[in-house]
């Protein structure tokens, strides 16, 4: 176990090292920062690496086996109403406990108490998890459902308050965080594994993508109902650090807060698992012990990870955006954001879970390296477009509508499995690193450029969630053509070999 943990931590180190190096170089060349802030950033990076290592191991041991087992068991239940009810309940419980959603809710003071927004998002996820189960069981094409639901969503967005639209689309990204993604992905694999038809592999993906639509639609409807006129965003406070003791103190003080958030999230899952195990008796004793140990690793990993990125990364992101936006070099934010985006996606905990699932389901045909490259390109595109949008004040719908339209058109031309992977990737990429580093970067840029924080800064999560839909499907388009070309070549070689065999046999007869 120690060896596996070491391997996971080394993988995390290789993922976090590039973004750390970029920030350090920028802090020396472009944006000089206080030594205390940089020290906080470095400590945060170390915690991030350790946290990612523990979380990855915990997800492998607990979250994925549990999600897959529940998915398999649900499909064995003959009562469709019970399946739908349990799916809704799981979606609601997991979403309410998602740490990223708590952060978003605090940024919308016009809706109080914040639990109203949280429960609304949870209901959206629960309802669309039901839809995802129906799709898988009844073999409904994912592309058709996505087109229908996104057309409805953009129609509702037309009537929602302009200041609320970016938050609504951001909610679809933050909902699919490190707690939700491993569970829902594995659940999709479990449900699809019961079917033996040739499309079962394609339908193992898509649950995350549909669950990302639910919060957007639910929050848009909430915005129309509440009609918020203004929502002040809390300004980022840059901590003053003078000694190493101050550094340690700032991190230690925040640990109980994130421990409480994570224990609440995992507590809901543990409670559901206990009830599920008592009823189904699916797991043997050694499997239960392994899952419990996995939950402990997940708890440690998420607490350490969230403490590191929230305390160490937020101030740096805000300073970078603000200082560059007020300088004559503000347009350097576009290529710099592309560079940051290309490397930061590999630091998202849930991305590693998705890549592993894709590699296993495709039997290695779609490797984790190929997925990483595609997601990195998508993230780079998203941040470049976001920075241009903020600096020029372009309305977000001018980008989201054509972007989603193009992504939905591509669903008719790419292999079906790539549609599910692409739309799942959109939710997976917009995790804790986006909300704790990229969102502060956008907010700092908005502040420096004199833009409206609610309209221009929010929406970066939505952009991050949209870009992989296009890039991964384009990758699938190339992959599909190569497969067809290979099949034609193989068929041609078979015919040629058969022709040669006939000639040889004819000569022997003579």
Integer Cα distance of 73 and 77 in angstroms: 7
Q: Are 42 and 20 in contact (CB under 8 A)?
A: yes
Percent of the chain with pLDDT over 90: 17
The reported pTM is 0.79
In 3-state terms, what secondary structure has residue 284?
Answer: coil
Q: Is residue 238 part of a domain?
A: no
End-to-end Cα distance, the chain: 69
The predicted pLDDT at position 110 comes to 63
At a CB cut-off of 8 Å and minimum separation 6, what does 103 contact?
174, 435, 436
Q: Is residue 393 part of a domain?
A: yes
- The listed range with the strongest mean pLDDT (148-157, 162-171, 349-358, 495-504) is 148-157
**Residue 105 sits in which domain range?**
2-28+35-228+253-509
Instruction: Pull the structure tokens for residue 408.
Output: 């939905």
Q: Is residue 136 part of a domain?
A: yes
At 232, is the pLDDT very low, low, confident or very high (cuts 50, 70, 90)? Answer: low
At 332, is the pLDDT very low, low, confident or very high (cuts 50, 70, 90)? Answer: very high
At a CB cut-off of 8 Å and minimum separation 6, what does 348 contact?
428, 429, 431, 432, 433, 434
At 1, is the pLDDT very low, low, confident or very high (cuts 50, 70, 90)? Answer: low
The pLDDT tens digits of the residues spanning 137-148 come to 788 888 899 999
- Average pLDDT (330-356) is 85
Q: Looking at the 3D structure of the chain, how many domains does it have?
A: 1
pLDDT at 510 exceeding the cut of 50: no
Lowest mean pLDDT among 6-10, 120-124, 201-205: 201-205
Q: Which residue has the higher pLDDT, 236 or 63?
A: 63
The pLDDT tens digits of the residues spanning 364-409 come to 777 888 888 888 998 999 999 999 999 998 999 999 999 999 999 9
Mapping DSSP onto H, E and C, the string for 8-21 reads HHHHHHHHHHHHHH
401 burial level (CB within 10 Å; 0-12, 13-18, 19+): middle
The predicted pLDDT at position 460 comes to 86
Question: How many Cβ atoms sit within 10 Å of the Cβ of residue 202?
Answer: 21
Q: Roughly what angle, to the nearest 10 degrees, separates helices 439-449 and 333-344?
A: 170
Angle, CA 384 vertex, CA 378 and CA 389 arms, to 5°: 125
Closest CA to 222 of 152, 121, 313: 121
């Amino acid at each position: 176990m120690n060896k596996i943990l070491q391997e996971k931590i080394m993988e995390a180190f290789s993922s976090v090292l590039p973004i750390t190096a970029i920030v350090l170089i920028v802090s020396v060349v472009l944006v000089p920062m206080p030594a205390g802030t940089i020290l906080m950033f470095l400590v945060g990076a170390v915690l991030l690496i350790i946290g990612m290592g523990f979380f990855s191991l915990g997800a492998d041991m607990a979250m994925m086996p549990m999600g897959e087992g529940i998915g398999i068991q649900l499909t064995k239940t003959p009562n469709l109403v019970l399946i739908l009810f349990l799916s809704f309940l799981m979606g609601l419980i997991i979403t309410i406990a998602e740490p990223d959603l708590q952060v978003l809710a605090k940024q919308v003071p016009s809706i109080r108490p914040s639990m109203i927004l949280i429960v609304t998002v949870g209901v959206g996820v629960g309802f669309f998890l039901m839809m995802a189960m129906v799709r898988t069981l009844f073999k409904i094409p994912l592309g058709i459902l996505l087109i229908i639901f996104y057309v409805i969503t953009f129609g509702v967005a037309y009537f929602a308050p302009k200041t609320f639209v970016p938050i609504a689309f951001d909610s679809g990204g933050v909902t699919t965080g490190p707690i939700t993604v491993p569970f829902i992905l594995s659940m999709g694999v479990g449900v699809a594994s019961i079917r033996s038809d040739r499309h079962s592999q394609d339908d193992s993906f898509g649950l995350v993508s549909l669950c990302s639509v639910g919060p957007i639609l639910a929050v848009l409807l909430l915005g129309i109902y509440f009609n918020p006129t203004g929502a002040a965003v809390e300004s980022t406070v840059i901590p003053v650090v003078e000694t190493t003791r101050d550094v340690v103190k700032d991190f230690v003080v925040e640990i109980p807060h994130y421990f409480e958030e994570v224990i609440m999230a995992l507590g809901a899952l543990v409670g559901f698992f206990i009830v599920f195990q008592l009823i189904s008796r699916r797991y043997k004793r050694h499997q239960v012990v392994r899952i419990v140990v996995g939950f402990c690793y997940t708890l440690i990993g998420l607490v350490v990870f969230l403490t590191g990125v929230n305390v160490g990364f937020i101030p740096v992101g805000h300073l970078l955006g603000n200082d560059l936006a007020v300088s004559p070099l503000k347009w350097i934010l576009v290529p710099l954001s592309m560079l940051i985006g290309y490397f930061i996606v590999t630091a998202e905990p849930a991305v590693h879970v998705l890549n592993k699932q894709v590699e296993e389901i495709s039997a290695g045909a779609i490797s984790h390296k190929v997925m990483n490259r595609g997601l990195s390109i998508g993230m780079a595109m998203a941040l470049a477009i976001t920075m241009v949008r903020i600096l020029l004040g372009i309305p977000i719908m001018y980008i989201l509508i054509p972007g989603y339209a193009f992504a939905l058109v591509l669903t008719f031309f790419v292999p079906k499995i790539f549609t599910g992977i692409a739309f799942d990737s959109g939710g997976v990429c917009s995790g804790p690193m986006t909300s704790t580093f990229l969102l502060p970067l956008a907010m700092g840029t908005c502040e420096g450029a004199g833009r409206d924080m609610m309209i221009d800064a929010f929406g970066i999560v939505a952009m991050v969630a949209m870009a992989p839909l296009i890039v991964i499907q384009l990758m699938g388009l190339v992959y599909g053509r190569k497969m067809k070309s290979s099949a034609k070549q193989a068929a041609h070689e078979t015919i040629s070999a058969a022709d040669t065999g006939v000639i040889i046999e004819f000569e022997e007869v003579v």
